[in-house]
A and B are shown apart, each in its own frame.
Chain A
């Protein structure tokens, strides 16, 4: 996925030689960007779903064997294969599936018979919740630390947050999750549940308790990377002429950092954060399995293990849509953050 990241030298006021606006630029830039993205989306979706169909089909091991179970006879497996219509050619199955998608029918799970749309509707809010909360936590921790570290590079806060951050980021997610379980759920103390996700609308407080450990587990590596990224962008921004100008005007360090330097330094951070949200939507499987959270990542991995093509296709379709949409939103966010991007578009 290509991202038109307006980071880098184009940001410096001196080097801001923007290309001339394209002809027909009367449309509002936001609308044009959205339109471009939608075409992009369609191509991505076709490519992703077709490729996953092919790849899953090429995986050795077949759905019929899994559905029929360990002790099934070859005749039973054949029966299941016919029932699931797996004996039809790949292309026929794909076109059939695509036809279903266009009419809003994502099919049903091979194993459980649960409609794919229903399964997704149950999983998406769960994964979305822990992803967003973890991202917000990561940003909440990373931004102040990064700003202060850039302001006083090499000092205690900078060095300590870097060491702790890299230590945590270097630890595999599941190890960090296990450490949290030992610390808070049964080992050292017993103040949080290790497993047992509760939906927000069932019990908001219980929901909060049940997502603390998973969100902390997800958050830590992200926070470390965000801090490092923002810190270095910020340090280079602080060397710009306009900061010198602001200093010479006698503005306070606080104003310079937060009002002048933070915004132009945050493009890489926003880009990465957007990419991460997209990635985590389908990629929180380790955390979901460890803490028994009924999310999308778990659904996808189980679908792969069980060769449950229908679930897998539906989930990948969603992840692809979400990825493109999130990046589109990030793109629009640039417009809000930097007037020059509006002109560029």
Chain B
């Protein structure tokens, strides 16, 4: 969900439209294609040079470095690295760990660590360090990683470099929980146990990890300075290339973009569509972007009238003219969504795409009339945040729905209120959602579609869906998992628990001399391989 700066940034954009590059519109609603979604082609970028400090403008200040506290922190992976990592094709592979395998189809997992990996304070990264860290997620119910630990029955250090996890059932996706993004929660970001003992809760401000960089200083909302870790586990490969990193939170969208154009920073994280399209049109900038899965949609509260009735859900989806939406809200550059998984995902099938209701105002009108004739009311409240672009979207939706016979009354909330009093309390009929893309099907699809899932705010529940998701989570077989997620996509497109319309627009925007970018679709970047060609 957006940051507090969202509103200000968008006001600025609206007020200063004149300096926004006009969108080249090759055809209303043309999507934005992926450009280096998970980083550049490292082999083609030439011989890496060592040295230099990369200055990165982020869209928000981090809360802290405690992996058991939910927050977005783009420096966390630079400090901690990750035991496992999502590869280019979305599968999980060992990174800081040597291997992670299950001898019994996912009931027991053995995480084998590399020899000689040490935290920057000299403490060895051994099996006990991993167990200490996982135990923190177990102990802290509010940790974003807590849910991943629920299947754990016991853990033990088989030897110094092997940690063994016994689970309460098969959990084929368990290694993914060691590869997650810092924001979404991960068991794979490991803090030095010595530092944990020394700092306790204050580890949030005094992180010690085994990643490519270590903390030098941090002045909140101004700058965070990191320097290279000379004892990095990949030092034999010359990593990290950079001498240091500097993170500057630049919460205003307009001045953040001005900062990369102006050369104040080497790289920014683009939190919004406006930055992405302007950077794509600027030949002096490089863009890393992938539309991914999920992203922007409207939640239906399927436990309340009128959207407990599938006809009304279908009517709303069929009533949205995506061409008009793209033209009015996305400067004609919207990557459309017709289902949870992206059109290039292996989990998307032609059958599922065909099941998604296309724009058809006549059909929508007819469905609404049918519903009203049955005694239902087609007057609904649409709740969303008060950011200017959300207000504009609500007005658009209101006009579209009026054309098909749904009277839509928008209600606006500030972000904190929206989180607590609307979505978390399930106090809505329909509610707007602007999430980022997701890196992997698990756990995101489970969070959204499973009964009781922590992002399933609309109360959707279908035992068949639960079973498909649980099987996919348990399965250790990629082919089987693909088949299951294909069915998830199809079923969701039939049940319509949410109205998808657009993918996300999170991007990384760099100067051309920034090379060796390796990133997740969502936002984390693995800075060890990043280098400056200057």
Q: A: which residues have CB within 8 A of B?
A: 59-63, 65-77, 79-80, 83, 111-114, 119, 122, 172, 174-175, 178, 181-182, 185-187, 190, 193-197, 199, 286, 289-292, 294, 298-299, 301-302, 305-307
- Structural contact, B142 and A68, CB atoms closer than 8 A: yes
For chain B residues 200-227, which have a beta carbon within 8 Å of chain A? 201-202, 204-205, 219-223
B34: Cβ under 8 A from any A Cβ: no
Given contact pairs A61-B416, A185-B262, A292-B256, a sample of 18 additional A-B residue pairs in the complex whose CB atoms are under 8 Å apart = A61-B419, A62-B420, A65-B419, A68-B142, A70-B1, A112-B63, A113-B202, A113-B204, A174-B11, A185-B264, A186-B261, A187-B261, A194-B258, A194-B262, A289-B251, A290-B252, A292-B249, A305-B414
10 contacts between A and B (CB under 8 A): A65-B419, A71-B144, A72-B142, A76-B142, A76-B146, A174-B11, A174-B12, A197-B222, A290-B254, A298-B251
Contacts of B413 in A (CB 8 A): 60-61
- Structural contact, A174 and B15, CB atoms closer than 8 A: yes
Contact of A77 (CB < 8 Å), options: B262, B414, B424: B424
Contact of A61 (CB < 8 Å), options: B8, B64, B221, B417: B417
Chain A residue nearest in CB terms to B71: A69
Min CB gap A218→B, angstroms = 15
Min CB gap B348→A, angstroms = 24
Contacts of B418 in A (CB 8 A): 61
| Bound CA span A67–B424, Å | 13
Contacts of B19 in A (CB 8 A): 178, 182, 187
- Structural contact, A181 and B8, CB atoms closer than 8 A: no
| Bound CA span A33–B410, Å | 54
Complex interface bits, B247-283 against A, C-beta within 8 A gives 1, otherwise 0: 0111110111011011111000000000000000000
- Structural contact, A112 and B64, CB atoms closer than 8 A: yes
Contacts of B202 in A (CB 8 A): 113
Min CB gap B424→A, angstroms = 6
A301 and B4 contact, Cβ closer than 8 Å, known pairs A69-B70, A290-B252: yes
Chain A residue nearest in CB terms to B423: A70
Contacts of B264 in A (CB 8 A): 185, 193-196
Contacts of B70 in A (CB 8 A): 67-72
Contact of B416 (CB < 8 Å), options: A66, A112, A119, A290: A66
B131: Cβ under 8 A from any A Cβ: no
A175 and B15 contact, Cβ closer than 8 Å, known pairs A194-B259, A195-B256: yes
Contacts of B424 in A (CB 8 A): 65, 72, 74, 77
- Structural contact, B265 and A65, CB atoms closer than 8 A: no
Complex interface bits, B48-74 against A, C-beta within 8 A gives 1, otherwise 0: 000000010100000110000011000
Contacts of B204 in A (CB 8 A): 112-113
Complex interface bits, B220-236 against A, C-beta within 8 A gives 1, otherwise 0: 11110000000000000
- Structural contact, A83 and B142, CB atoms closer than 8 A: yes
Q: How many pairs of A and B residues are in contact by the CB < 8 Å rule?
A: 177
Min CB gap B342→A, angstroms = 20
B184: Cβ under 8 A from any A Cβ: yes
Contacts of A196 in B (CB 8 A): 55, 223, 248, 259, 264-265
A289 and B1 contact, Cβ closer than 8 Å, known pairs A122-B219, A172-B15: no
- Structural contact, A294 and B221, CB atoms closer than 8 A: yes
Chain B residue nearest in CB terms to A66: B416
Contacts of B1 in A (CB 8 A): 70
B354: Cβ under 8 A from any A Cβ: no
- Structural contact, B205 and A114, CB atoms closer than 8 A: yes
Chain A residue nearest in CB terms to B417: A61
Contact of B252 (CB < 8 Å), options: A69, A80, A289: A289
Contacts of A181 in B (CB 8 A): 254-255, 258
For chain B residues 1-38, which have a beta carbon within 8 Å of chain A? 1, 4-5, 8, 11-12, 15-16, 19
Contacts of B220 in A (CB 8 A): 112, 114, 119, 122, 294
- Structural contact, B420 and A76, CB atoms closer than 8 A: no
- Structural contact, A62 and B416, CB atoms closer than 8 A: yes
A66 and B4 contact, Cβ closer than 8 Å, known pairs A185-B262, A190-B263: no
Contact of B57 (CB < 8 Å), options: A61, A79, A195, A298: A195
Chain B residue nearest in CB terms to A175: B15
* Closest A-B pairs by Cβ, 3 of them: A69-B70, A186-B262, A61-B417
B421: Cβ under 8 A from any A Cβ: yes
Min CB gap B12→A, angstroms = 6
Min CB gap B423→A, angstroms = 8
| Bound CA span A302–B419, Å | 16
Contacts of B252 in A (CB 8 A): 289-292
Contact of B255 (CB < 8 Å), options: A68, A75, A291, A306: A291
- Structural contact, A69 and B144, CB atoms closer than 8 A: yes
Chain A residue nearest in CB terms to B443: A71
Min CB gap A77→B, angstroms = 7
| Bound CA span A119–B219, Å | 9
A60 and B205 contact, Cβ closer than 8 Å, known pairs A174-B15, A178-B12, A187-B19: no
Chain A residue nearest in CB terms to B185: A71
B454: Cβ under 8 A from any A Cβ: yes
Contacts of B16 in A (CB 8 A): 175, 178, 182
| Bound CA span A301–B5, Å | 10
Contacts of A83 in B (CB 8 A): 142
For chain B residues 320-376, which have a beta carbon within 8 Å of chain A? none
B141: Cβ under 8 A from any A Cβ: yes
Contacts of B71 in A (CB 8 A): 69, 111
B455: Cβ under 8 A from any A Cβ: yes
| Bound CA span A65–B419, Å | 7
Min CB gap A87→B, angstroms = 14
Min CB gap B198→A, angstroms = 15
Chain B residue nearest in CB terms to A286: B8
- Structural contact, B420 and A75, CB atoms closer than 8 A: no
Contacts of B415 in A (CB 8 A): 61, 305
**Residue with the highest number of chain A CB atoms closer than 10 Å, among B11, B222, B454:** B222
| Bound CA span A199–B15, Å | 31
| Bound CA span A65–B418, Å | 10
- Structural contact, A111 and B250, CB atoms closer than 8 A: no
For chain B residues 367-398, which have a beta carbon within 8 Å of chain A? none
Contacts of A76 in B (CB 8 A): 141-142, 146
- Structural contact, A193 and B259, CB atoms closer than 8 A: yes
Contacts of A193 in B (CB 8 A): 259, 262, 264
- Structural contact, B144 and A61, CB atoms closer than 8 A: no
| Bound CA span A175–B265, Å | 23
Min CB gap B150→A, angstroms = 11
Chain B residue nearest in CB terms to A185: B262
Chain B residue nearest in CB terms to A178: B16
- Structural contact, A289 and B144, CB atoms closer than 8 A: no
B447: Cβ under 8 A from any A Cβ: yes
- Structural contact, B265 and A302, CB atoms closer than 8 A: no
Contacts of B251 in A (CB 8 A): 289, 292, 298
Chain A residue nearest in CB terms to B448: A71
Chain B residue nearest in CB terms to A196: B264
Contacts of B15 in A (CB 8 A): 172, 174-175, 178
